Amino acid sequence: MDTIFRDFSEKILIYLGIESVLDPYEADVETTLQNPIPIRAIVSDISMSKSQWSLPGVASAKTKEILIEKKHKALFELSQKIKIDSDYYCGWRENGKLQMRVDGQFLRAYVYIKKYD
């Protein structure tokens, strides 16, 4: 698996952010993104039907499955956005633990672009 990961992985950017509360009564929060951190991941597209099954209740325009090393789990949990190619995907913050599982020494997660009507 290490050889496959080394051969087929690509660089993705993880954006961490700092949240500051603007108005505690209205629960307004402003997020300031920090500089991105590049990591290696195997990225694959997911069909809409599998997306609806894997992420119930989430309306997404585009969904991808990423496979990253387990040592980046904390980084993924702190992420605000994830940039793959030229698109920005929602990470851990939006849907929580429904979209992540650990397989041995790798972490498999779903990231998506929200669908706005």
Domains, the chain, ranges and CATH? Answer: 2-114 (2.40.10.270)
CB of 90 closer than 8 Å to CB of 109:
no
Quick one: pLDDT at residue 97?
56
- The 3-state secondary structure of 25-46 reads CCCEEEEEECCCEEEEEEEEEC
Give the count of beta carbons closer than 10 Å to the beta carbon of residue 94: 16
pTM beyond cutoff 0.85: no
pLDDT tens column, 53-93 = 777 777 778 889 999 999 999 898 888 899 999 999 886 66
